[in-house]
Amino acid sequence: MDEANVRQKARAFIAKVDVSNIQEDLSPYVTAANAKVKKDELGEGESGYTITKPNGKHIITVNSLETNERQRFTICHEIAHIVLGLESSHEEVPSWSYAKRHPNEIACDTFAAELLMPYQLWLSAVPREEPSLELLQHMADLFGASFPAAASRFASLSDMPCAFVTMERGAVRYAARSTSLRQVGAWISPRSVIPTGSVAHRLRSSGTSTTETREVSQDLWFDNWEKGLDLWELSRHYARVDTTISLLWFDSEDLPEVEVNRFGARIEDDGGLPELTGELPWPGRNRRR
C-alpha cells in the first residue's frame, strides 16, 4: 500500500463522516470505525493500542498522560489500523522516530494526518499568505495537531513551491513537497546529511530547542539545482529528541526556468514519462504481489 493509496483510503473514509466539528471532537470517526475510546494511564512512550472484542467492536485505549494533541493523533492512528486492517508493531521504536518505523506504522501516521487535518477543511481555513511561525502554530492549534504535523500538511497542500523536511540525528528522513515543487523536479535525497549553511544545520549545531527563519541558497537543499537563487527556510530544532524540521518555500518567480526530472535531467515532452509523484519510495513499494 503506497502513500497515495493510503491518502485515498483516508479521504474515502472521511467522505462518509460529518467532519464539521472534527477539530473539537473525533467521535464521528470513532463511531464510523465501530470503535470506542478509553483513556488510561499507560507507560512512558506508550501512546495507545486497540483491542477487538468478539462482537467486532474495537476498544482504543489512549495514554491520558500524553498531551491532548498527542491523544488525538493516537486515536486517528489507531483508527487507521482498524480501517486499513494493518497490524501494529508499536514496540520496536518510539513513535517520534521516523527512521526505523515499520511501513504499517508510517502508513497509519499518514492516514491519521488526513483525519486530523481533513484537506477540504484545511484549504478553507489556511490563510493565503507566506508561511510563518505564527501561521503554522495557528493551524496546529486550530486542528489540535502538533507543529510538525501542521507544517508537513502546509507543505503538501500548499499551492506555492514548498517542502517540509524532517531530520533526525543530523540526517534527512523524510521530505514532503507541494505539487508545484514536485512538478519542477525538486528532489531532496533521503538519508543525506543536513546541508551545511542551512538554518536547520545551524540550529542543530547550537544544540538548543529554538526556531528561526532565514533566506538560504536553493541549491543547498535540492539536488542538481541551479545556483544563485534563494529560498526561505523556517526551521525548528527539538534538542531532546535530536529532531529538526524545516519548511522551505520560494516565490514562483524564483523557480529555475528549466524543467528537470528528479534525477536532474531535462524533461523531454515525449508524453511517455511517468508522473513524478515526488514522494519518497516506501519500503516494499515496488514489490509485486
Q: Which residues bind Zn ion (CB under 5 A)?
A: 88, 105, 108
User: Least distance from C-beta 254 to Zn ion, angstroms?
Assistant: 39
Q: Which is nearer to Zn ion, 11 or 102 (CB)?
A: 102
Record the cell numbers describing residue 158, joined without a space. Answer: 500548499
| Cα separations in angstroms, 172 against 99, 168, 195, 267 | 9, 7, 9, 26
Helix (H) or strand (E) holding 182: helix 179-183
Q: Nearest Cα to 56, choosing from 36, 41, 86?
A: 36
- Nearest-approach distance from CB 258 to Zn ion, in angstroms: 42
Among residues 74 and 244, whose Cβ is nearest to Zn ion? 74
The H or E element containing residue 201 is helix 199-206
| Minimum CB distance to Zn ion smaller for 9 or for 237 | 9
Q: Give the separation between CA 139 and CA 130, rounded to whole angstroms.
A: 13
What dihedral do alpha carbons 245, 121, 7, 235 form, nearest 10°? -10
Closest approach of Zn ion to the CB of residue 145, in Å: 17
Residue nearest to Zn ion (CB): 88
Nearer Cβ to Zn ion (46/168): 46
> Of 88 and 211, which CB lies nearer to Zn ion in the complex structure?
88
State in angstroms the smallest separation of the CB of 121 from Zn ion.
Answer: 24
Q: What is the spatial distance between Cα 85 and Cα 97, in angstroms, rounded to a whole number?
A: 23
Q: Which is nearer to Zn ion, 88 or 261 (CB)?
A: 88
DSSP 145-172: --HHHHHHHHHHH-SSSEEEEEEETTEE
| Shortest distance in whole angstroms from residue 3 CB to Zn ion | 16
Element (H, E) at 63: strand 58-63
State the minimum distance, in angstroms, from the CB of residue 253 to Zn ion.
Answer: 43
